[in-house]
């Protein structure tokens, strides 16, 4: 790829170097709205079309290789086409794809999740994190006989109706930061859902306590990401999750940890890291080894509501629940993920966050690098990022410059500047990320300074 010049805009470089992606996008626009089937992989002027991945790398349809710090939004903790995962998939594939029957391998993955994750006494599989949070919320409503679900402003729990309130609200409609109002994510979110959703401010225990006490016996459950993922990789602060645990127990509310992303920070997820055990846990991403697998699990007395041998059990169908390919890929992945592997990944994450902070400090650019374990997120703001409102102060123009600039320098990250580290990444790969961020900073420094950075 011809190197970007200082005078050319990041977008111009992108368009110049990715003609095959552009051509495919034009075809896609004829058959899919906006040319995409996944909003989160679209970015303007058109998304990158990736042909293959191997280890830490992906190659686009123009043959350009990039280091993949996105890893399918943190799911591919072992990188692309890990030999153990590929072998497990091949072996399973030869036995057929799916059957309407129980399969032995689902028991193995279930047992492994129960063994690792403190809150998970029993577990059920789904095909996505979306279904996992949906069922966890349904269990909370069924168990308590209450209707409302409390959730945090700026959290992300997937794409079902109850997940789609105040994920990224119009701040003009969202009320005070200490008493946020529910704002539907789109006109398609049912009004009844908005009315039955209580919005809480992250990392602000006194406000959470005041709001939850006010709603008292109406709230069935509180769903929280112990580390906000999609909303900026914001870790829960010391005492916050513990306080939430104590409060929900006192008020008879079910505490649901959404660990779809945070499960990658320790064998038992963020709940192990923080030493706080929820009632239910929603899971996905790493537990499927790159295949569409989700799960929800927790206290056996709560999960029992799904037992089909009991009267009035909650039905939990799903043509592909416990799909043998997903189970095989997930199991192979977890077998590789020993405690030592997490330690190594987390050490690399700490190193990256430290070096990135140094780059911005050296160039006097107001930026925060948040994260935990092998996750990180860059925010262009002088305000410490600890909740949704502070995250929203990040400069969107700088985020876009950085994202496209990094694509042009051979690095793939999320457009919102989130990244994750996978096991095949070497020290040279991590250094390449830091160097690319510095290079883009140098290229855009003067423009960014005019933006008041």
Ligand X SMILES: Cc1ncc(COP(=O)(O)O)c(C=O)c1O
- Contact status, residue 287 vs residue 322, Cβ threshold 8 Å: no
Q: Which among 227, 266, 228, 296 has a CA at the least distance from the CA of 116?
A: 266
Nearer to ligand X, 21 or 197 (CB): 197
Query: Binding to ligand X (CB under 6 A): which residues in 147-176?
Result: 156-158
Q: Please identify, among the stretches 128-136, 321-329, 395-403, 429-437, the one whose residues bind ligand X according to the rule CB under 6 A.
A: 128-136
Q: Please identify, among the stretches 27-35, 77-85, 93-101, 124-132, the one whose residues bind ligand X according to the rule CB under 6 A.
A: 124-132
Q: Which among 243, 305, 80, 257 has a CA at the least distance from the CA of 151?
A: 257
3 state SS of 198: strand
Query: Binding to ligand X (CB under 6 A): which residues in 45-74?
Result: 73
- Contact status, residue 390 vs residue 375, Cβ threshold 8 Å: no
Nearer to ligand X, 174 or 230 (CB): 230
Nearer to ligand X, 286 or 331 (CB): 286
Task: Give the per-residue contact string, 294-333, with ligand X (x = CB under 6 A; - = no).
Answer: x---------------------------------------
Is position 105 an interface residue for ligand X (rule: CB under 6 A)?
no
Q: How far apart are the first and last CA of the chain?
A: 30
Structure tokens, 297: 């699990």
Where helices occur in 177-236 by DSSP H, the ranges are 191-195, 205-215
Sheet holding 65-68, edge to edge: 50-54, 57-60, 65-68, 411-412
Q: How far is the CB of 292 from ligand X (least distance, A)?
A: 7
**Binding ligand X by CB under 6 A: which of 110, 260, 306, 413?**
260
- Contact status, residue 219 vs residue 251, Cβ threshold 8 Å: yes
**Binding ligand X by CB under 6 A: which of 229, 298, 330, 371?**
229
Torsion-angle region of 38 (φ positive above 0: left; ψ -120 to 50: alpha; else: beta): beta
Phi/psi for 68 (5° steps) reads -100, 95
- Contact status, residue 112 vs residue 334, Cβ threshold 8 Å: yes
Q: Please identify, among the stretches 19-27, 191-199, 232-240, 256-264, the one whose residues bind ligand X according to the rule CB under 6 A.
A: 256-264
Q: Which residue is nearest to ligand X (CB)?
A: 129
Cα distances from 445 to residues 359, 448, 450, in angstroms, run 12, 5, 9
Is position 231 an interface residue for ligand X (rule: CB under 6 A)?
no
Nearer to ligand X, 263 or 398 (CB): 263
Is position 76 an interface residue for ligand X (rule: CB under 6 A)?
no
Q: How far is the CB of 158 from ligand X (least distance, A)?
A: 3
**Binding ligand X by CB under 6 A: which of 258, 279, 429, 438?**
258
String of DSSP letters for 361-382 = HHTT---EEEEETTEEEEE--S
Catalytic residues: 156, 258, 285
Size of the site for ligand X (CB under 6 A): 16
Nearer to ligand X, 128 or 370 (CB): 128
Q: Please identify, among the stretches 51-59, 196-204, 222-230, 316-324, the one whose residues bind ligand X according to the rule CB under 6 A.
A: 222-230
Q: Which are the contacts of 12, defined by CB distance < 8 A and separation ≥ 6? A: none
Is position 130 an interface residue for ligand X (rule: CB under 6 A)?
yes
Q: How far is the CB of 347 from ligand X (least distance, A)?
A: 23
| Total residue length of the chain | 453
> Which residues here bind ligand X, judged by CB under 6 A?
73, 128-130, 133, 156-158, 225, 229-230, 258, 260-261, 284, 294
């Amino acid at each position: 790829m011809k190197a970007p010049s200082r005078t050319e805009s990041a977008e111009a470089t992108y368009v110049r170097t990715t003609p095959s992606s552009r051509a495919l996008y034009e075809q896609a626009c004829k058959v899919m709205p906006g040319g995409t089937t996944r909003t989160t992989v679209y970015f303007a002027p058109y998304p990158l079309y990736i042909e293959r991945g191997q280890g830490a790398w992906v190659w686009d349809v123009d043959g350009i290789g990039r280091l993949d710090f996105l890893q399918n939004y943190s799911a591919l903790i072992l990188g692309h086409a890990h030999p153990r995962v590929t072998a497990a998939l091949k072996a399973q594939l030869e036995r057929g794809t799916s059957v309407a029957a129980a399969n032995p391998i689902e028991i193995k993955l279930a047992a492994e999740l129960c063994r690792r994750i403190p809150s998970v006494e029993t577990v059920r599989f789904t095909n996505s994190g979306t279904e996992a949070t949906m069922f966890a919320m349904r269990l909370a409503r069924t168990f308590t006989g209450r209707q409302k679900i409390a959730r945090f402003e700026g959290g992300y729990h997937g794409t079902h109706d109850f997940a789609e309130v105040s994920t990224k609200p119009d701040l003009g409609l969202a009320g005070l930061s200490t008493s946020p109002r529910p704002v539907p994510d789109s006109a398609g979110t049912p009004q009844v859902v908005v009315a039955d959703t209580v919005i809480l401010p992250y990392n602000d225990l006194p406000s959470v306590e005041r709001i939850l006490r006010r709603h008292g016996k109406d709230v069935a459950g509180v769903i929280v990401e112990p580390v906000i993922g999609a909303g900026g990789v914001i870790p829960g602060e010391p005492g916050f999750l513990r306080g939430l645990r104590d409060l929900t127990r006192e008020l008879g509310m079910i505490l649901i940890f959404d660990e779809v992303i945070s499960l990658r920070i320790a064998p038992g997820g963020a709940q192990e890291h923080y030493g706080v055990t929820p009632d239910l846990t929603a899971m996905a991403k790493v537990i499927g080894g790159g295949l569409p697998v989700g799960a929800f699990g927790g206290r056996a007395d709560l999960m029992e509501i799904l037992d089909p041998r009991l009267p009035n059990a909650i039905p939990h169908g799903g043509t592909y629940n416990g799909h043998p390919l997903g189970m095989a890929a997930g199991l192979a992945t977890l077998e590789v993920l020993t405690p030592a592997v997490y330690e190594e990944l987390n050490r690399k994450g700490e190193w990256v966050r430290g070096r990135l902070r140094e780059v911005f400090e050296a160039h006097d650019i107001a930026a925060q690098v948040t994260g935990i374990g092998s996750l990180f997120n860059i925010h262009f703001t002088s305000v410490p990022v600890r909740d949704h409102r502070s995250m929203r102060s990040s400069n969107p123009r700088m985020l876009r410059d950085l994202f496209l600039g990094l694509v042009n320098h051979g690095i793939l990250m999320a457009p919102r500047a989130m990244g994750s580290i996978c096991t095949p990444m070497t020290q040279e790969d991590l250094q390449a990320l830091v160097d690319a961020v510095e290079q883009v900073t140098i290229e855009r420094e003067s423009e960014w300074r005019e933006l008041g950075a």
